[in-house]
Amino acid sequence: MTAEPAAALRVEHVAKRFGALTALRDVNLRLNKGEVLGLIGDNGAGKSTLIKILCGFHRPDSGRISVNGQQVVLRSVDHARSLGIDTVYQGLALVNELTVYHNMFLNRELRIGPLLNNRAMRRLAQQHLADMGVGIADVGAQVAKLSGGQRQAVAVARAVYSDARILLLDEPLAAMGAKEGALILDLIRDLRDRGDVSVIIIAHNYAQVLDVCDRVNLLQHGTITFDRPTAEVSLEELTELVVAEYRNRRRPA
């Protein structure tokens, strides 16, 4: 019998409370190498809390996290990043006042001696975005001048460019038009085809992202209650599960 390959990311019995509120009760999750995992669940189910734990922003109260088979304590966002875990949040993390290319190289600027090598950063950012099919006419433009979808695309492209091996996308299609959403989904498909990046996508509107996910996990009341390959589950079945949970919650005790 061959041993199961190490997961890119493994979460075991993770719990997190905020004062009296239990956000995560007992989360067990496995992200395989090269797969795209959809994490869905109703409002307040704990999805963002879990992502914030996995990117080093929150510390869990208990439980274990392993990256590539090694148990780790994620001390900070920078520490998680140094282990190859990068996150694109709902609120993004781009600096609006800076240009697209400065954002692409944020915190890892290219320099010649003490000076920024703007020319090289501009050229490489342009090339990388074009390679990924992200149409930004002028990488010298301020990020504030981009549309929401373009900003999101730059944030995803930057995470991919940063050698992230595990990418956490929190609502990647939020506030996006159909065309921009399609661009992000194409980026995720490209990543999946590359096979060397593992992705977790949180999506409220899961119908939009199901198509790019290999597997889907449902988070309910702070625990994963459903884990199935996407090919084996229909949209109707998922919707029924989410709606049943919603009804249960509204039922008086």
Interface positions with ligand ATP (CB under 6 A): 18, 21, 23, 41, 43-49, 204
Residue 101 CA to residue 106 CA, distance in Å, equals 9
Residue among 44 and 195 whose Cβ is closer to ligand ATP: 44
Q: Please say whether the beta carbons of 237 and 74 come within 8 A.
A: no
Residue with tokens 């609502």: 171
Phi, psi of 121 (to 5 degrees): -65, -40
Which is nearest to 84 in space by CA: 98, 68, 71?
A: 68
Closest contact distance (angstroms) between CB of 225 and ligand ATP is 13
Closest contact distance (angstroms) between CB of 91 and ligand ATP is 12
Other beta carbons within 10 angstroms of residue 173's beta carbon come to 22
Residue among 2 and 43 whose Cβ is closer to ligand ATP: 43
Closest contact distance (angstroms) between CB of 43 and ligand ATP is 4
Residue among 62 and 70 whose Cβ is closer to ligand ATP: 62
Residue among 13 and 204 whose Cβ is closer to ligand ATP: 204
Q: Helix H segments across the chain?
A: 47-54, 77-82, 100-104, 118-131, 148-161, 178-194, 206-209, 235-250
Closest contact distance (angstroms) between CB of 171 and ligand ATP is 8
Closest contact distance (angstroms) between CB of 100 and ligand ATP is 28
Edge-to-edge order in the sheet of strand 62-67: 21-31, 9-18, 62-67, 70-72
Torsion of CA 176, 202, 8, 83, to 10 degrees: 70
